[in-house]
Structure 1
Amino acid sequence: MSSLKTMQNVLLILAAMFCTNTYSANYPERPLRLIVAFPAGGTSDTIARLLADRMSQKLGQPVTVENRTGANGIVGTQDARTANPDGYTIILVPSGHAINSTLNPAATYDPIKDFTMISLIGTVPMVVTAGSNLGAKNIAGLIETAKASEKKISYGSGGVGSSNQLATELFGAMAGISTLNHIPYRGDTPGIADLLGGHISFIFLNVPSALPLVKEGKLTALAITGAERSPLLPDVPTISETVPGYAAGSWHIIIGPAGIPEDRVAILSKTIVDIVHEPDFSDRLLGMGIDPVGSTPEELKTFMSQEIEKWKKVIEDADIKL
């Protein structure tokens, strides 16, 4: 009886291995859907369409981009969460995915447990940009001015709970500044207009938004929020060169509904990593101010856990509420 049971177990293992290999070999057999939780034309949408085109070539099946917008990405994310976990529906989400679960009651999902981690595409550092009214030429000057000021220095952001608000609050906490006044806008564009008009003193902007304004001399780049200097602004130091340990920015990841078979996840992840590391694709990302990464699912899970805890602390310490 024991030998028979052993033989049955061996046969079950072999059958499972055969099925898994067949599963991988036949996948994908039909088009894939790549959801973008934000409108067409934005950075997330642009990355998704570039990626979808390359994925279609490598996987031999069309990868269709579908914009599902609303509630700062929550609508599209919920749509992806409830999709069939067969590997044919995936979603590209930015850094708000690590923020919504703490800040927004509408995000009723767990940003890790309710999804399958696939790959981190890249990170996007910000530029601390200042107008002439601030008078600071570098990040040390901003810190000195803020600490010496009798009134609060106003900074702008793309809205309450936006990545640039949280990055600024983290900076203020680590630099020991308690005199910052947050002015939220409906997106960065009106904030930039007020910065140029002298109504606020500084704003953290993604590199693509800040670059032309800095190059034209309309705004001063005080520092980069990433761990390393940006190749697009090589002479601009990082905040961490003045405030050790500081690092912040946005990012873009690919995830799917929880429960996608591991072999299909492996195919998707490897495909994305290979694409991100292709020189011409990598150059496209760098030109958009995005530092290419391309991670394994395990690396993405670790990264996400760190980001969620990091921004949760900032939100709670700064008492940020929608």
Structure 2
Amino acid sequence: MIKIGTRNSPLAMWQAKEVEQKLQNLGYETSLVPVLSSGDKNLNQPLYSLGITGVFTKDLDIALLNNEIDIAVHSLKDVPTLLPQNIEISAVLERDFPQDVLVRKSSSKNKNLAELKIATSSLRRRAFWLEQFPNTEFSDIRGNVQTRLKKLEEGDFDATLFSLAGIKRMEMKLDFEFLEFMISAPSQGVVAIASRINDVETREILQQINHKETQICVEIERNFLRTLEGGCTAPIGAIAKFDDNRIYFKGKLSSLDGAKTLNLVEEFNYNNSENFGEKFAKAILENGGQEMMKIIKSEIKN
């Protein structure tokens, strides 16, 4: 019996059931074990002010290390790039819908993008939006997709931003708009499965449901993120796409106010001997990114 740990939000449960179905299709017995996370308990503070890395993964990590569960299912973009000792990402499912999309309240349908008051607690989404529309007002918003939609209709703001994956997975009939300038968070749209490194049997089982091309792309994105951030939350976007052994990569670092941005676009043949994510991040750091990260760190502390 494989005990599958998951947060208990509707989206997290959907992700865990996807993993469960794949394991059951291979003949394995499973059971779902919902775990309430610190990130779900505190819906009033924006994530960057909680002072916790892995705010949505910490409780599942503890359950995993205490042998209360055998695997933990996550949205990979919520998983810190530095994992606790004896925990690894052992498999990822094929990525779907990595984009961010804009969802408006019904009374704001006719407003221009520059006029919208936006609800988001994401530093990345705020900064990338401000680059285009520097006079925008923001409100903090937290909670699962359903909670944020309710707050959108009731709140004093015009629109919010969602990961398209969440909308599609919940089969929600929403009007949304794609935003070309909004580069996704590293590993957005990817379901990841963590296990204990010393649990060799479970790790081997998980390899049977791992999607290799997605794994290659998110490793590049997460290495880019880890090299840039140095343990600090910052407005960073990264997306890699795999096509016939060619990788197409976009990376971005922005100041908190969106006034300064560093962009990188690369196309290359993949080989597993080179750490492309680290290489691209170092190029950004050497081109002004190091100074930008220092400023971001000091601004977040204050």
* TM-score normalised by L of structure 1: 0.53
Contact 1:35–1:65 (CA under 8 A) maintained in structure 2: yes
- Distance (Å, rounded) in 1 between the aligned partners of 2:255 and 2:66: 33
Deviation at 1:128, TM superposition (A): 0.5
The equivalent of 2:177 in structure 1 is 222
The equivalent of 1:127 in structure 2 is 101
- When Rg is computed on C-alpha atoms for both structures, the one with the higher figure is 1
Gaps of 5+ in 2: 40-55, 237-253, 257-298
Contact 2:139–2:157 (CA under 8 A) maintained in structure 1: no
Q: What SS does the corresponding residue of 2:5 show, helix, strand or coil?
A: strand
Q: What SS does the corresponding residue of 2:224 show, helix, strand or coil?
A: helix
Number of residues of Structure 1 aligned to a counterpart in Structure 2? 214
Match of 1:80 among 28, 41, 64: 64
Match of 2:173 among 212, 234, 258: 212
- Distance (Å, rounded) in 2 between the aligned partners of 1:57 and 1:203: 37
The equivalent of 1:193 in structure 2 is 150
Match of 1:69 among 33, 36, 51: 36
Query: Is residue 98 from structure 1 mapped to residue 79 from structure 2 by the alignment?
Result: yes
The equivalent of 2:4 in structure 1 is 34
Q: Deviations over 1:92-122 (max 9, x none)?
A: 01245336x8xxxxxxxx3376522222223
Distance 1:90 1:210, change over 3 A: closer
Contact 1:118–1:268 (CA under 8 A) maintained in structure 2: yes
- Distance (Å, rounded) in 1 between the aligned partners of 2:4 and 2:234: 31
Contact 1:116–1:260 (CA under 8 A) maintained in structure 2: no
Contact 1:117–1:255 (CA under 8 A) maintained in structure 2: yes
Match of 1:184 among 122, 141, 144: 141
The equivalent of 1:313 in structure 2 is 234
Deviation at 1:62, TM superposition (A): 1.0
Q: Deviations over 1:140-197 (max 9, x none)?
A: x41xx24xxxxxx53224xx4xxxx345224224435253312324444344234335
- Distance (Å, rounded) in 1 between the aligned partners of 2:213 and 2:36: 25
- Distance (Å, rounded) in 2 between the aligned partners of 1:75 and 1:98: 12
Question: Which amino acid counterpart does residue 91 of structure 2 have in structure 1?
Answer: S
Deviates most, 183-192 or 64-73:
183-192
Gaps of 5+ in 1: 1-30, 102-109, 147-152, 215-220, 224-238, 274-292
Q: Which has the higher helix share?
A: 1
Question: Which amino acid counterpart does residue 184 of structure 2 have in structure 1?
Answer: A
Counterparts of residues 265-276 of structure 1 (less than 5 Å): 265-273=203-211
- Distance (Å, rounded) in 2 between the aligned partners of 1:55 and 1:270: 9
Contact 2:86–2:196 (CA under 8 A) maintained in structure 1: yes
The percent of aligned pairs where both chains have the same amino acid is: 9
